[in-house]
């Protein structure tokens, strides 16, 4: 039996993790009463008396939580941006590295990838690693997300009784090209230059669609779209991550198709000259809560997919 404390379980990511873990027989959740959940002393006691702490906090609070841990046996999974490129932290996307699962299993500090970064890296990192995409390629990435990615405040805004007409249309944001996921997107893709990143939030709760156009000239000479498909087929064989030869629904792609699920689908469309790389998942699934649970499972030696929802697709 492993004792797990979710620091910040009241947020969107924390709530889904809590729900996924509540019925587990191999895990006992440590909880604090409402009056003490923000009390530093109470949090410190919980953080130092668990086997694994899962941090679902803003960056500053996540750093504070780590500083409160004095027990060297406590292992940490941080879902914030705070430690994603920090020395000593293992990036919690085991499918991207040859020894990824082993690295997560032995880690004491694991950072959960950002939702936008997850789609981008699933598509780009293997192509750079396998010498198919040039490291100096200039890449642009569009990422469509449901509004749950903005947390409780954005959810409340979108779901208020009085609806701003502007919210009914998709909205581009992070216009200054300084989105907080960009450092990890460049770092773990091994690209020479960070991508031009265009995130879009739309009027639906959960789901993410990552779109990356690639010209054949950006590939290593002799490499083709067929080589990209071969890499994805070999790497993403399921059950959590799957390559799909065709991912559209009668010529359309819904960003909400995997809403509520924890898996990710990857595909390639376009033609030999203009290739489109596609990743579809739930921004709270493989993009956040699901990724944290996968890491937890690996760290405690459980089935990596225990407690994850890999069921039927949404009808959206």
CB 280 within 8 A of CB 255: yes
pTM: predicted TM-score of the whole model, two decimal places: 0.95
Residues of the chain with CATH 3.40.50.720: 2-112+287-300
Task: Please state, in angstroms and rounded to a whole number, the distance separating the CA atoms of residues 210 and 58.
Answer: 24
For residue 125, the model assigns a pLDDT of 98
Rg for the chain, CA atoms, rounded: 19
Q: How many CB atoms lie within 10 A of CB 97?
A: 16
**Which pLDDT belongs to residue 166?**
81
Q: What is the pLDDT of residues 163-205, one digit of tens each?
A: 777 888 999 999 999 999 999 999 999 999 999 999 999 999 9
Q: What is the DSSP letter of 195?
A: -
Compute the residue count for the chain: 316
**pLDDT of 314 higher than 70:** no
- Return the percentage of the chain with pLDDT > 70, whole number: 98
Beta bridge partners of 241: 264
Catalytic residue among 50, 56, 115, 206: 115
pLDDT of 316 above 80 = no
pLDDT of residue 150: 87
Of 150-164, 222-236, 257-271, minimum mean pLDDT range:
150-164
Q: Is 4 exposed, middle or buried (0-12, 13-18, 19+ CB in 10 A)?
A: buried
> What pLDDT, on the 0 to 100 scale, is given for residue 203?
93
The three-class DSSP label of residue 222 is coil
Architecture of the domain delimited by 115-283: 2-Layer Sandwich (3.30)
CA distance 157 to 295: 31
Q: Which phi and psi (to 5°) does residue 65 adopt?
A: -60, -45
Structure tokens, 272:
């030999």
- Record the tokens describing residue 224, joined without a space: 């083709």
pLDDT at 313: 61
pLDDT digit string (tens) for 44-90? 999 999 999 999 999 999 999 999 999 999 999 999 999 999 999 99
Distances (CA, A) of 307 to 18, 121, 122: 11, 24, 22
Instruction: Give the pLDDT confidence of 130-159 residue by residue, as tens digits.
Output: 999 999 999 999 999 999 988 888 988 888
Average pLDDT over residues 232-258: 93
**Cβ 132 vs Cβ 275: under 8 Å:** no
- Please give the class, per CATH, of domain 2-112+287-300: alpha beta
Residues of each domain in the chain carrying CATH 3.30.360.10 = 115-283
Annotated active-site residue 141? The verdict is no
In this predicted structure, what is the pLDDT of residue 112? 98
How many Cβ atoms sit within 10 Å of the Cβ of residue 140?
A: 12
12-21 and 151-158 helices, crossing angle to 10°: 100
């Amino acid at each position: 039996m492993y004792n797990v404390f979710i620091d910040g379980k009241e947020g969107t990511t924390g709530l889904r993790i809590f729900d996924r873990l509540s019925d587990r027989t191999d895990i006992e959740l440590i909880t604090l009463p409402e009056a003490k959940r923000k009390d530093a002393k109470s949090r410190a006691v919980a953080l130092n008396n668990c086997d694994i702490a899962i941090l679902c906090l803003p960056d500053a609070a996540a750093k504070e939580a780590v500083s409160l841990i004095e027990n060297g046996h406590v292992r940490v999974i941080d879902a914030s941006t705070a430690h994603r490129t920090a020395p000593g932290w293992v990036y919690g996307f085991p499918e991207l590295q040859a020894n990824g699962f082993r690295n997560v299993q032995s880690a004491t500090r694991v950072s959960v990838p950002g939702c936008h970064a997850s789609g981008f890296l699933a598509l780009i990192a293997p192509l750079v690693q396998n010498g198919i995409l040039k490291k100096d390629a200039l890449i642009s990435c569009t990422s469509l997300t449901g509004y749950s990615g903005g947390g409780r405040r954005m959810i409340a805004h979108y779901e208020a009784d009085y609806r701003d007409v502007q919210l009914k249309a998709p909205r581009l944001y992070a216009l200054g090209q300084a989105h907080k996921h960009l450092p990890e997107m460049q770092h773990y893709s091994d690209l020479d230059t960070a991508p031009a990143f265009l995130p879009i939030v739309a009027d639906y709760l959960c789901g993410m669609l990552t779109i990356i156009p690639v010209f054949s000239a950006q590939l290593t000479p002799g490499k083709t779209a067929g080589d990209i498909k071969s890499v994805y087929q070999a790497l993403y064989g399921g059950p959590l991550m799957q390559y799909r030869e065709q991912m559209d629904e009668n010529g359309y792609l819904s960003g909400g198709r995997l809403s509520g699920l924890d898996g990710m689908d990857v595909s390639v469309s376009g033609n030999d000259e203009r290739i489109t790389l596609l990743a579809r998942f739930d921004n709270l699934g493989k993009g956040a809560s699901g990724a944290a649970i996968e890491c937890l499972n690996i760290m405690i030696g459980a089935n990596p997919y225990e407690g994850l929802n890999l069921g039927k697709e949404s009808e959206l």
